[in-house]
C-alpha cells in the first residue's frame, strides 16, 4: 500500500495524517475530557489558540511523511502530501490571522 507513487494517494494521506495528529494532540493534552468536550473547547476558545496549535503540530506528521516519500523516490505521492500540507498551512494561517 505505501509503495504507491500516485498524486491522489499522497493527497489522501496528506489529508488523513493531520487528522490523526489532532486525535493524538487531544489524547495527550485533554486526556481527562471526551472528544466532543475537547474539540468543542478548541472551537469556542477565544482566538482559537489551542486549535491552531493542534493543527500546527499535526502538520509535523505530514512533514515526516513527506520526507519519507521524498527519500524513497516516490515523488508523485510526495507532491500530493505537499499540496495538502500547503492547504492545511493556509487554513491555519487564516485562522491565526483573522480570528
Q: For the whole model, what pTM was predicted?
A: 0.83
For residues 16 and 87, what is the distance between their CA atoms, to the nearest angstrom?
Answer: 13
| Domain residue ranges of the chain, discontinuous segments joined by + | 7-98
Asked if 88 and 19 count as a contact pair (C-beta separation under 8 A), the reply is: no
For residues 9 and 56, what is the distance between their CA atoms, to the nearest angstrom?
Answer: 22
Could you say which DSSP state residue 56 is in? H
For residues 89 and 70, what is the distance between their CA atoms, to the nearest angstrom?
Answer: 19
Asked if 81 and 11 count as a contact pair (C-beta separation under 8 A), the reply is: yes
Per-residue pLDDT of the chain (99 residues; tens, 9 = 90+): 567 899 999 999 999 999 998 899 999 999 999 989 998 898 888 877 888 888 888 889 999 999 999 999 999 999 999 999 999 989 888 887 887
- Other CB atoms within a 10 A radius of the CB of residue 61 amount to 19
Helix (H) or strand (E) holding 72: none
Amino acid at each position: 500500500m505505501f509503495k504507491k507513487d500516485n498524486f491522489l494517494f499522497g493527497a489522501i494521506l496528506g489529508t488523513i495524517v493531520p487528522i490523526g495528529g489532532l486525535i493524538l494532540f487531544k489524547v495527550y493534552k485533554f486526556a481527562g475530557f471526551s472528544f466532543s468536550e475537547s474539540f468543542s473547547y478548541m472551537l469556542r476558545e477565544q482566538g482559537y489558540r489551542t486549535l491552531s496549535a493542534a493543527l500546527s503540530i499535526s502538520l509535523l506528521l505530514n512533514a515526516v511523511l513527506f520526507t519519507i516519500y521524498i527519500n524513497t523516490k516516490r515523488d508523485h505521492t510526495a507532491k500530493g502530501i505537499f499540496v495538502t500540507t500547503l492547504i492545511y498551512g493556509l487554513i491555519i494561517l487564516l485562522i491565526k490571522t483573522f480570528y
